[in-house]
């Protein structure tokens, strides 16, 4: 299903990711993409193999997007929301019928879901660098996620700082937190479940 003509694997994505970081450093949380170990931890925390609709916030060049598509069922959908138009162009090259890419802000998640005719997601996964966005924006993103998730749905965020927990815990309660040390830098994975 996947038809990736964006280059030859992880090395090309790393170059694209670094270029994106240099162009828009406040929108990119790291200078290198996520490791396979981190990707596996996120997939497990989000329960992707059972999910029918997943939203990825801040997918960057699509390394995690590809990993998520590998684990999603044939009838599942993956909506990405990315602020960088350059990164959206790279995501469009993935060429998977289950993938919908949207250039915009996660603050508007309910409206974006409606625009694409999608219902409540089973999981929302975020690579957005909450430490680099205003506190008020982070709070609105957390509220939009809570309001959009299906009952029992999960919000999973991977960060190396705790700002996402500061913004989301008042809205969704205390998260389960684990750390993936086989990533540069080591990354915390936060998971909330909607009651």
CATH number at residue 135: 3.40.50.150
What pLDDT, on a 0 to 100 scale, did the predictor assign at position 34? 77
**Rounded (10°) angle between helices 63-71 and 36-46:** 50
Three-state SS at 111:
helix
| Nearest residue to 57 (alpha-carbon basis) of 176, 161, 137 | 137
What pLDDT, on a 0 to 100 scale, did the predictor assign at position 7? 40
Residue 81 covered by a domain: yes
Q: How many domains does the chain have?
A: 1
Residue 3 covered by a domain: no
Residue 68 covered by a domain: yes
Give dist(CA 114, CA 134) in Å, integer. Answer: 26
Residue 2 covered by a domain: no
Which positions of the chain have pLDDT values less than 70?
A: 1-33
Which residue(s) pair with 80 in the sheet?
Answer: 56, 101
What pLDDT, on a 0 to 100 scale, did the predictor assign at position 13? 52
Residue 172 covered by a domain: yes
Give dist(CA 58, CA 7) in Å, integer. Answer: 20
Q: Are 22 and 99 in contact (CB under 8 A)?
A: no
Give dist(CA 145, CA 93) in Å, integer. Answer: 27
Residue 1 covered by a domain: no
Give dist(CA 136, CA 5) in Å, integer. Answer: 38
Q: Are 158 and 42 in contact (CB under 8 A)?
A: yes
Q: Are 41 and 186 in contact (CB under 8 A)?
A: no
Residue 4 covered by a domain: no
What is the span of the domain harbouring residue 29?
A: 9-193
């Amino acid at each position: 299903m996947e038809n990736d003509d964006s280059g030859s694997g992880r090395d090309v994505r790393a170059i694209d990711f670094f270029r994106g970081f240099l162009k828009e450093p406040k929108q990119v949380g790291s200078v290198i993409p996520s490791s396979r170990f981190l990707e596996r931890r996120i997939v497990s925390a989000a329960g992707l193999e059972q999910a029918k609709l997943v939203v990825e916030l801040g997918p960057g060049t699509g390394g995690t997007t590809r990993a998520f598509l590998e684990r999603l069922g044939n009838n599942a959908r993956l909506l990405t929301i990315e602020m960088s138009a350059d990164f959206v162009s790279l995501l469009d090259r993935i060429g998977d019928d289950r993938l919908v890419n949207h250039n915009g802000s996660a603050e508007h998640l309910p409206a974006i879901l409606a625009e694409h005719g999608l219902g409540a997601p089973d999981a929302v996964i975020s690579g957005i660098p909450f430490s680099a966005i205003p506190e008020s924006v982070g709070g609105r993103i957390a509220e939009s996620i809570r309001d959009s998730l299906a009952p029992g749905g999960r919000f999973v965020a991977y960060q190396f700082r705790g700002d996402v927990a500061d913004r989301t815990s008042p809205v969704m309660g205390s998260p389960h937190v684990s750390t993936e040390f086989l990533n540069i830098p080591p990354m915390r994975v936060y998971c909330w479940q909607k009651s």
